[in-house]
Amino acid sequence: MDAVTPQRIAALVRACSFELSPRDTGDADALRGWFDPGTSVFVNFPPSAGWADVVQACVRLRRAGFEPVPHVVARRLASYADASDFLRRVAEQAAVTQALLLGGDTSRPAGPFDSALALLSTGVVERYGITAVAFAGYPERHPQIGAPVLQAALRAKLELAGKRGLAVSLVTQFAFEAAPILDWMAAQRAAGVTCPIRVGLAGPASVATLAKYAVRCGIGGSLRALARGHAAFARVLTEADPGALIEALVAGEDPTAPIVALHVFCFGSVQRTAEWVQKFLSRVSGRG
């Protein structure tokens, strides 16, 4: 391994953001023991939660010294009033300035917004002090939307956010192989998408949890590729350790358009994820 590579790997891991459910944020004291102050913590919007749960999770995270980044799922918002109230409350109560805008995968929207673009076009996102938005990226595929449609929608969102004066970034869905991620990043850069990209990783989790989220998120191709190489597949399922993937990403990244940070999906295993980060950093530091 090149002498500079451990330093690059460690820098990326230290810059990790993490994704939690509202339920995961219940013990703020524990979170302070696991993550550094100022860490960006994304709060997802599961079907079992309401937008008020996301607001309260953001409040707890802010009080604990973290940077909360709520998921704003357009198809889950029943009305413009709901969207406005949600965004006003996270801004006023949790000092939120960043959000991840998603369309959502429900078959029928709960209100007037069928996509993140539709929500963004109302101007409500920036009305209450949000200055930066992230959009989702899908290195393998979206489970319901074709690649050409997805790319056109991404470009439209990036252009509109720019016109609205919002800083933009992308956060990718997780995968278990580096190649699809690196190929997708190269394709985005070739298409003129120059905004920062956070690469999603599956944190340590059980076999059942990884498989469930992989199928739900449309990354079956990555699972099938791993299954063909039985040894690699066995390692992922028993160790649930994304370390090898991080190393492969660093080895293959374009130095002129590098990965800006990593984004770890905790899948409910918050303490296990935090402990893995510390152990991995210690292991990498020992190589330098």
Q: What is the pLDDT of residues 119-145, one digit of tens each?
A: 999 999 999 999 999 999 999 877 677
Intra-chain end-to-end CA distance of the chain, in Å: 10
The residue segments making up the domain with residue 126 are: 4-281
Q: What local confidence, expressed as pLDDT, does residue 212 receive?
A: 55
Q: Over range 11-30, report the average pLDDT.
A: 93
**pLDDT score recorded for residue 268:** 86
Coil, helix or strand for 264? strand
At 1 the pLDDT is: 45
Mean pLDDT (the chain, rounded): 87
Indicate the pLDDT class of residue 5, thresholds 50, 70 and 90: confident
Residue 32 placed within a domain? yes
Asked if residue 96 belongs to a domain, the reply is yes
Instruction: Give a yes or no: residue 251 inside a domain.
Output: yes
Is residue 288 domain-resident?
Answer: no
pLDDT tens string 226-270:
455 444 544 544 445 788 889 999 999 998 999 999 999 998 889
pLDDT digits (tens, 9 = 90+) for 140-167: 877 677 788 999 999 999 999 999 999 9
pLDDT tens digits for 33-58?
Answer: 999 999 999 999 998 899 999 999 99
Predicted confidence band of residue 177 (pLDDT cuts 50, 70, 90)? confident
Q: What does the angle CA 136 – CA 80 – CA 67 come to, to the nearest 5 degrees?
A: 45
Number of domains the chain is built from? 1
Please tell me the least confidently modeled range out of 11-25, 26-40, 60-74, 228-242: 228-242
Q: What is the arithmetic mean of pLDDT over 15-24?
A: 96
The per-residue DSSP string of 231-245 comes to HHHHHHHHH--THHH
Q: Give the pLDDT confidence score for residue 237 in this predicted structure.
A: 46
Q: What is the CATH number of the domain that holds 56?
A: 3.20.20.220
pLDDT at 203: 84
Q: How confident is the model at residue 183 (pLDDT cuts 50, 70, 90)?
A: very high
Give how far Cα 274 sits from Cα of 13, 19, 115, 246, Å.
11, 12, 33, 16
Model pLDDT, residue 242: 82
Query: Tokens 């590579």 sit at which residue?
Result: 5
Residue 199 has pLDDT above 50, yes or no: yes
Note whether residue 286 is domain-resident: no
Report yes or no: 25 and 286 within 8 Å, Cβ to Cβ. Answer: no
Give one DSSP letter per residue of 158-208, joined into a string. Answer: HHHHHHTT-EEEEEEPP-S-HHHHHHHHHHHHHTT--S-EEEEEE-S--HH
Tally the residues of the chain: 288
